[in-house]
Amino acid sequence: MGSQMNNDVIEFDKRITAALAGKGSPVAAKTLAARLAEGSAVASVRLGAGRDAVLMAAVAARILAEPGLKALVVAPGDRDVAGLKAAFDSIGADLGLSCSTIGRDGAVEDAIVAVGSLDAIASRAAAKTLDTRSYGLLALSDLDGMADFANAAMLRNAFGTASGKRRCVAFSAEPGPAHLAIARDLGGPVVELDLEAEGERARNAPSSTYSVRAEDKPRLLLGLLSSGAAKPVAVFCDLRDTAEATAKMLRSRGISTEYVLGNLPRKRAVLDSVIAGDYDVLVLTDEGASGLPGSWAATLVNWDLPLEGEPYVARLEFLDAARNGAGVYNFACERYSFGIPAIERMLGSRLAPVPADESMMTPAGPVPSVRPPAGRAPDKGSERRRPDDRRDRSDRGGQYDGRNVRAIQADIAAITGGRPVSVASPPDKSSSDSAKPGKKRGKKGRGSATKPGQGRPAEATAGDRGKRGGETSRAPSRGSRGGNPQRLSDPYSVSMEERLRLYRERYGATGEPAKAPKAGSPRPAGGKPSRGKASSPTHPRSAQERKRPEPRPAPADKGPAPSSPKGIFGAIKDLFGKKGE
């Protein structure tokens, strides 16, 4: 049987080959006719407009090889019948082969080939006005439209079970188990065929590869389009930005162009408008072309060569090689020519780049650039980065360093009498419990504590006190600049006069002069040690402090012995101690 298949391929009628010129692939028709000499087949096809011509050429070849054989061609619907009959007539008319159509009414003409829709054939078979068993070759032009449960049942009822005298051939874009089951039930054992093997189709498609500089690509493409390249034209780019810029460049030259960059819901409608002739050029990315039907472009231009072989072969599926003037044009620039070795390994043949001749390009002149505008971010990432950019811009100037934070805390402490940041000297062991918070405050206020070798900060001047409406200025610290006084961070670092002034601003003066404490009197509970010889030499007790009236004593604090007088120092301690607790 294998030798018979080879003979059939060799003896394929030259008139059929001539009739297929510009209509379909002779190679595919020969392969299918040879398989039908052996038995049934289910063919995976992507032949575009030449699909019907290939099927009818294979049927005509079998009829010529087997005199007396009759064929019945089944279409999914009534609207497909006329196209199938016209395809057979264009091939079989010169061979003396007749073809008729089957309607729901009227007599069936005695013809070698009959074409009808599934509904019409099922109706005639059920009415017993059509003997389907008289046909030895059954051709299903589009099994995808008849593979559902209801149509499959109609097929089985109309043709019955398979017999050794009948063969079946079915075309499908993607045959599945259901397709194979139907073909077996109607024609016995089947073989799957791929009439568009990727490597074979790529080798057979006429192609030209040009070495061209990236800046000359627009001129080369415009030159090809102006020289009469077959339309529609598919232009493939590797990047979205390049595809969009290329489409805009073509539009600026008055060429009707559409583009599909990604998986948009409307991309099928865009392709339909291109096929209908509304646009001459469709610019695509590999992502945008994913999911679109193949075999529609008369000219395929690879503006950017892919860096791998698989995407190149996938692009070839969109070329309708059966069209007159169909071809592939590859632009191999300095960047994307690195993909040529991988493509050649995939195809099994060489692309053989040649330099693009100046005569093929449009005359030198202002051609809009196809490169993305400077600074433009890629489409995918730009939207995701915008929120971050806005956040970055809004944060500038709002980040506070440690010094600013401490300054704010010191302002609050100075105004409200909050907890001091540090303590000038460690509390005496004989101090009451009310002095213990000062030890905690000293731990938190490391930045303002007196360092070894440094005296107490100098007393603030009256001019400094008036700069912020009565706020006291912090004693100069290591981080101060120039003569600008800093804010108060430790109330205990200033003189008694300053602390009493702050006390009056907060609680008001009593108006009653207070008696100065007698020399040698016991130290008030909760206050600071008396200023004698043991007191710091940098803060001597002035005569003004000794004559200052004593304010009204604050409520007694918990912890000290009731016999200890509160006094001025205790009140001042309560003022700055309780507020921060």
Summarised one tens digit per residue, pLDDT across range 261-307 is 988 888 999 999 999 999 999 999 999 999 898 889 999 999 999 99
pLDDT in the model for residue 538: 46
Q: Which CATH number fits domain 200-373: 3.40.50.300, 3.40.50.970, 3.10.20.600, 1.10.10.10?
A: 3.40.50.300
Residue 402 has pLDDT above 70, yes or no: no
Tell me phi and psi for residue 523, to 5 degrees: -70, 135
Per-state percent for the chain, helix, strand, coil, to nearest 5:
45, 10, 45
Distances (CA, A) of 2 to 6, 64, 353: 6, 19, 40
Identical topology for domains 2-196 and 200-373: yes
pLDDT in the model for residue 325: 85
User: Hey, where are the domains in the chain?
Assistant: 2-196, 200-373, 402-518+563-578
The answer to which of 80-94, 308-322, 522-536, 556-570 has the lowest mean pLDDT is 522-536
Mean pLDDT of 51-71: 92
Q: What is the pLDDT of residues 494-540, one digit of tens each?
A: 677 777 777 777 666 554 444 445 554 455 444 444 444 444 444 45
Pick from 132, 223, 200, 170: nearest CA to 55: 170
Residues in the chain: 581
Give the Cα separation of 384 and 303 in Å (integer): 28
Task: Looking at 205-357, list the stretches that DSSP marks H as alpha helix, in order from N- to C-terminal side.
Answer: 217-226, 240-252, 267-275, 286-289, 309-316, 340-347
Residue 430 has pLDDT above 60, yes or no: no
What are the tokens at 402? 């440690």
Tell me phi and psi for residue 230, to 5 degrees: -60, 140
| 71, β-bridge pairs | 113, 137
pLDDT in the model for residue 323: 81
Residue 146 has pLDDT above 60, yes or no: yes
When the pLDDT of each residue in the chain is averaged and rounded to a whole number, the result is 74
List, in order, residues 6 or more apart from 51 with CB less than 8 Å away.
Answer: 24, 45, 171, 295
Confidence of residue 1 (pLDDT cuts 50, 70, 90): very low
Confidence of residue 440 (pLDDT cuts 50, 70, 90): very low
Q: Kindly report the CATH number that applies to the domain delimited by 2-196.
A: 3.40.50.300
Give the Cα separation of 144 and 156 in Å (integer): 16
The answer to which of 325-334, 351-360, 431-440, 494-503 has the lowest mean pLDDT is 431-440
pLDDT in the model for residue 260: 94
Q: What percent of the chain has pLDDT over 70?
A: 59
> In the sheet where 71-75 sits, what is the strand order?
99-102, 113-117, 71-75, 137-140, 167-172, 40-44, 190-194
